[in-house]
Amino acid sequence: VSVSLIGAGPGDPGLFTMRGAELLGRAEVVIYDRLIGHELLDLAPPGAELINVGKSPGTSRPQAEINAQLVEHGRAGRRVVRLKGGDPFVFGRGGEEAEALRNAGVDYEVVPGVSSAFAAPAAAGIPVTHRGMATSVTVVTGHVGDQSAPGGVDWYSLGRAGGTLVILMGMSERARIASELIGSGRDAGTPVAVVHWGTTPHQQVVRSTLGGLASVELPAPSAIVVGPVAALDLGPAPASGGAGSS
Ligand SMILES: C[S@@+](CC[C@H](N)C(=O)[O-])C[C@H]1O[C@@H](n2cnc3c(N)ncnc32)[C@H](O)[C@@H]1O
């Protein structure tokens, strides 16, 4: 296999898979996104060619150019690692890259990663499903241009469906998302948690409600969790040794 589409996980290098590390350790070319931690890039051999393809608004290379690069290096028979944040097939456009490679007849494999959709809530102590509270979880993008276009998000149905919503790339549209969900019948008091850079030393968590989401100020990358579980905090117990501990 010449091209490996590898999920880098949510940010903590300890959450990278062993399979990913093994392939990265013998890569000749590494094509990576902006948010990939440098600890992971250090796993590549010293002579490997490291190519940053951005993936930040305004500066990112067009997807077609990334696809063409993968095909070109793959055809040349080089051991190519395409390192993508989280899981490559969850809002990562990994599917398009796999299609491009398949259409070009280049061998590839997909190595799943721990998605921020589940890891960021977990790092904030939030189980996305919980007995008696949530029997389903829906992962949705908050970043779609034209809501009426095919593939746009039907917030009204999502709001009515209940269960936990995890919204990625939703911070710039949070006011509109909150009002659509409230308009569909979700209570304005529904708990909400916003997790910024979950699993990393930069992690910040802000708890609010659907009615208060518009005034939560955290930059990307952040995941928005909506539903009763967002009020839970089942993170590690406080260290023992304080007053009252045994
Ligand atoms: C283009 S999507 C890629 C998602 C990725 N493929 C995954 O499975 O995690 C990028 C969005 O994922 C979310 N995200 C990625 N890493 C995150 C983290 N460590 N904590 C919170 N949200 C994160 C943010 O919503 C960010 O805008």
Report the chain (246 residues): mean pLDDT per 10 consecutive residues.
Answer: 95 97 98 90 97 70 91 95 97 95 97 98 98 96 68 87 95 95 96 98 98 97 98 85 50
Does the beta carbon of 121 sit less than 6 angstroms from any atom of ligand 1? no
Does the beta carbon of 10 sit less than 6 angstroms from any atom of ligand 1? yes
Place of tokens 């490679």: 101
Strand partners, 49: 29
* Dist. CA 75 → ligand 1 center (Å): 30
pLDDT reported for residue 121: 98
From 117, 222, 115, select the one nearest 171 (Cα to Cα).
Answer: 222
* Dist. CA 33 → ligand 1 center (Å): 12
pLDDT reported for residue 246: 47
Active site residues: 33, 55, 169
Of all protein residues, the one whose alpha carbon is nearest to atom 25 of ligand 1 is 168
* Dist. CA 42 → ligand 1 center (Å): 21
0.75 surpassed by pTM: yes
Does the beta carbon of 33 sit less than 6 angstroms from any atom of ligand 1? no
Does the beta carbon of 69 sit less than 6 angstroms from any atom of ligand 1? no
pLDDT reported for residue 37: 81
Does the beta carbon of 94 sit less than 6 angstroms from any atom of ligand 1? no
pLDDT reported for residue 67: 95
pLDDT reported for residue 185: 93
